[in-house]
Structure 1
């Protein structure tokens, strides 16, 4: 479902950068973007002191949480410090119970955990504190290596830049890749990193330059996604053995060549569905899939809806995501009944 009113819950002694992430993503007025109403909430009352000693005057109290479609806890003081105020935890539970989407970025995951919202669910947090989250809240299925986890109504992310990735993912899943890409371009950050990508990689993803075989291969693959690319073909293009290529690729990107390639194909299919009227069968082939039948399960797994439903939402004259998800579910039910 869409969201327009966003409550950002700020707690005392939090890191300044992480606290600013959702405000930077959703708060700036941009042409073509929904007019988000971002409300900075002093979750424990009074001025919010950051860990740098800077005092922030948040204009809203916890009543704003009760009115928000999207509630974000962008960070948290050290997990071994004093616990969140009980009234803040109650506000989070009320928000979730009435259907709001609730997000914990970085150490904000600990606040969602303290509210009991993550029991028996997978969740992410900063890799350094993942063991502490797992030992403190044993019912949570902690994912220590991923950038973020999307559970629909509850989302959690790794630290710092991982919070930006999750906020952009929220824009992408609700309003489409075009708007997400516009915001990313404005912020000068990568437009999309898959949630399953590793939090920490040995080297930054290379900017393709002459003499950089891996960077040149990534660029070449992006320009030829309509071809039947294999990992062997990629390693041959990079003039590396398969074993060396696999090891170097994971070091640089944090994922495997096959996973990266599939992710890029789905992103390309999304762009084509948004910007062209080509049949899904043609979109599938242009994105490197043998057919629409081959595209659909991967697209649904990564995006959450079928290609047709996605186009109805984000293509020219598209409807809201809620309508697309409903239509998608109806299509599945009809197909199942027909069989």
Structure 2
């Protein structure tokens, strides 16, 4: 597979943090090799100033967008201002030739002004929901999403959700195993569902501040093929069922049943992508009691069958 080229577009007085997120993800080398060819782009190819007086030297001007497989607008400096015509035209041409175009956080505004989101679904920072809806009535704003993809146009919610969105793009190009490696290097959760609310009181952490629950989570991840009941697990931790449920929810932000299904599905992705095991065997190894149940949960979560997922990422 040829390494995809990412064009990261800078704009006047851009936010360092907004740019740092995609820059970090798309310059990552999880196995010692670059998985993306990242190009920093300014409108005229000249150094660009940030909102706090730093200066960034780009790789070139908008001509680099013409060569990109992925074009990213990381935020936007003025919600009342449309991009200059050369930026809008570069975005539209990129999408027309098949590139993925991404607007992170307020970057959705740049895509909306350019017409790329017309009649499509989009996400943006919750603080701009009312303004965005009024300003762009022909765009379906998903107010309960971390990120949304609609016809190769990808938008995300607030800045932290931009990281989820970038990991989603890694996963789309390289699969779950590589995306998880990148997430581990960045020390962030490998996957938060795109349909979650932007306000998540407790994100889905790999580790929590509850030591007992941490030990339990580690055990469960290593033994997903077994069957569990809340009553038995509560007894192991010398807790009542109610206390266990409260501790688990506080630590992970979700019920035990939902966490277990989500973790089993995540493990199934790795097995589907990295082995030739049958769907039935994968189902057994991750703890679903029947292959039918596995397929139902998988379809509900990913909107494709396990076999279709495998074919997408392995060609088999």
Q: Which TM-score band applies after superposition, normalised by the shorter structure?
A: 0.7 to 0.9
Question: What SS is found at the alignment partner of 1:202?
Answer: coil
Kindly report the root-mean-square deviation, in angstroms, between the aligned alpha carbons of the 2 structures.
3.3
- Which residue of structure 2 lines up, in the alignment, with residue 51 of structure 1? 51
How many residues are matched?
314
What per-residue deviation string (whole Å, max 9, x for no partner) do you get for residues 168-224 of structure 1? 1111122122211222222222222221233223345563466655x5665555445
**TM-score, with length taken from structure 2:** 0.83
**Greater Cα shift, 228-237 or 65-74:** 228-237
Question: What SS is found at the alignment partner of 2:98?
Answer: coil
Question: What SS is found at the alignment partner of 1:83?
Answer: coil
Gaps of 5+ in 2: none
- Which residue of structure 2 lines up, in the alignment, with residue 165 of structure 1? 164
- Which residue of structure 2 lines up, in the alignment, with residue 264 of structure 1? 263
Gaps of 5+ in 1: 325-339
Task: Decide whether the 8 Å contact of 1:21 with 1:164 is kept in 2.
Answer: yes
- Which residue of structure 2 lines up, in the alignment, with residue 185 of structure 1? 184
Q: Give the alignment of 1:44-193 within 5 angstroms.
A: 46-80=46-80, 82-193=81-192
Q: Cα offset for 1:39?
A: 1.2
Cα distance change, pair 123–221 in 1 and its aligned pair in 2 (3 A): farther
Task: Decide whether the 8 Å contact of 2:30 with 2:178 is kept in 1.
Answer: no
Question: What SS is found at the alignment partner of 1:200?
Answer: coil
Q: Give the alignment of 1:217-236 within 5 angstroms.
A: 218-219=217-218, 221-228=220-227
Cα distance change, pair 241–30 in 1 and its aligned pair in 2 (3 A): closer
- Which residue of structure 2 lines up, in the alignment, with residue 335 of structure 1? none
C-alpha distance in 1, partners of 2:162/2:235? Answer: 36
**TM-score, with length taken from structure 1:** 0.78
Cα distance change, pair 297–115 in 1 and its aligned pair in 2 (3 A): farther
C-alpha distance in 1, partners of 2:30/2:244? Answer: 44
Question: What SS is found at the alignment partner of 2:51?
Answer: coil
C-alpha distance in 1, partners of 2:6/2:45? Answer: 18
Task: Decide whether the 8 Å contact of 1:194 with 1:263 is kept in 2.
Answer: no
Cα distance change, pair 76–230 in 1 and its aligned pair in 2 (3 A): farther
C-alpha distance in 2, partners of 1:144/1:56? Answer: 33
